[in-house]
Structure 1
Amino acid sequence: MIADLRHVDTWLFDLDNTLYPAESGFMAAIVDRMTDFVERVTGLPRDEAFRLQKTYLAEHGLTLKGMMLNHGVDPAEFHAIFHDMSLEALAHDADLLAALQRLPGRRLIFTNADDVHAQRVLKHLGLDALFDDVFHIGSAGYEPKPSPAAFAKMGELHGIDPGVTAFFEDSERNLAPAADLGMTTVLVGPHAPTCAAPFVHHRTEKLAPFLSGAHLREVA
């Protein structure tokens, strides 16, 4: 079904596993480094460190938040472990580039990653010039999605009108607060077609064809 997005003039995108496919394996490599970090800081065996990492993710929306609260971790030290990661798994997508270019209005990134990681990935994908700004975890005062406080800070900073905003995410639970605010929500990824959550308005396995086929506002 073709999505009617003619009311949208602010386009809000998550970054990881949304602007590149989950099957790239890049996010899995990030999780491996995260587990290494938790193992090193806590001294736990790797399997226990992985479980703790996932517990913090479930409880706080971000492993880093749990590490900050319970282990006194410096967020700069945590984010530095990702800044030298190889980006070879991420490929340019000409169809996605063209689809993003046709969107009328503002394009923004809303990510739980830090600014360095976001800019590295966007530049490597050839998408950095298409976005007006990146609202990263530092911008949110380390309050991650799906916290309503993160949405409030992002909305205040960028003057977001939820009624004309579409939010694209690979994480279902991060779309719930967006829908509560009145945004149009789009779940992206291989799991999207089976999602039955009422706060998810559109579902697509692939971002580029969804955007390319959507009905958009005509620009005068």
Structure 2
Amino acid sequence: MPLTWIFDLDNTLHDTNSKIFPVINKKMAQYISQKIGVSSAQANIIREDYWNKYGSTLRGLIKNYHINPAQFLEETHHLPNINELICPMRNLRRTLRSLKGRKIIFTNGPKNYALTVLRLSGILIYFDEIHSIEDSLLNGKPSHSGMRQFLSKHKIKNAVFIDDERLNLRTANRYGLKTVWLNQGSKKPNYISQKIRHLDDLLTLKV
């Protein structure tokens, strides 16, 4: 059966902790502060709490404050200097070019953001499909309903799921996917098939 490679985007294909996430996180905190009338410090606490509790800040804001999701995504991911913020993982193009099979992006980020990152990284041509938070009907990883919808839409049968967030991989494991955790140091949980330190370790991985 042909193999499908499912890739997370942020902190999997490019390093977002260095430059992009600090900018996006600040924009999210500003949005929260303005919309619900709390201090910047409290807004940042809410942002982190919702990320940990719901898998995304957006999901928590929809559930608790009924915010406009399209407006939130537009304001928080508007990055005029995004080309200066992208830090692709090492040997990224060679890694993707060498992996045989269908390749899909599964991200909790918005579609336009994902397309821009892939295009500026020079890797858009390697992906057959992009599944964004809009495609997940705003119910992204690690939710079970989001995973079921993703698997059904893309007719996933035999696949490897690569992500830096272990909770996303735990859900993927529940649906029979092989899971690869991109992580530098933490101990591998039992629900994760394999752990790699760098993305290009996929080239020597047996799946």
Unaligned stretches of 5+ residues in structure 1: 1-6
**Post-superposition offset of 1:45:** 0.8
- Residue pair 2:88, 2:121 contacting (<8 A) in 1 also: yes
Kindly tell me: are residues 212 and 67 of structure 1, through their superposed partners in 2, closer, same or farther at Cα, counting changes over 3 Å?
same
- Residue pair 1:165, 1:183 contacting (<8 A) in 2 also: yes
Matched, 1:26 2:17: no
Kindly tell me: are residues 42 and 169 of structure 1, through their superposed partners in 2, closer, same or farther at Cα, counting changes over 3 Å?
same
Total equivalences in the alignment:
205
- Residue pair 1:166, 1:186 contacting (<8 A) in 2 also: yes
Tell me what 1:9 maps to.
3
Tell me what 1:74 maps to.
68
Could you give the per-residue CA deviations for residues 172-203 of structure 1, whole angstroms, max 9, x where no partner exists?
Answer: 1110011111111111133xx32331111211
Kindly tell me: are residues 8 and 170 of structure 1, through their superposed partners in 2, closer, same or farther at Cα, counting changes over 3 Å?
farther
- Identity among equivalent positions (%) equals 27
Counterpart secondary structure, 1:64: helix
When normalised by structure 1's length, the TM-score is: 0.86
Aligned match for 1:202, one of 185, 191, 194? 194
**RMSD of aligned C-alpha atoms?**
1.8
Deviates more, 1:88-97 or 1:197-206: 88-97
When normalised by structure 2's length, the TM-score is: 0.92
Tell me what 2:203 maps to.
212
Tell me what 2:126 maps to.
130
Aligned match for 1:62, one of 56, 59, 78? 56
Matched, 1:150 2:142: no
Aligned match for 1:184, one of 178, 185, 191? 178
Matched, 1:37 2:31: yes
More relative contact order, 1 or 2 (CA 8 Å, 6+ apart): 1
- Residue pair 1:8, 1:166 contacting (<8 A) in 2 also: no
What code does the residue aligned with 1:177 have?
T
Could you give the per-residue CA deviations for residues 143-189 of structure 1, whole angstroms, max 9, x where no partner exists?
Answer: 1211011110110110001xx21111111111001111111111113
Kindly tell me: are residues 179 and 79 of structure 1, through their superposed partners in 2, closer, same or farther at Cα, counting changes over 3 Å?
same
Deviates more, 1:118-127 or 1:60-69: 60-69
What code does the residue aligned with 1:127 have?
I
Structure 1 CA distance, aligned partners of 2:2 and 2:187?
Answer: 23
Structure 2 CA distance, aligned partners of 1:26 and 1:17?
Answer: 10
- Residue pair 1:18, 1:189 contacting (<8 A) in 2 also: no
- Residue pair 1:93, 1:125 contacting (<8 A) in 2 also: no
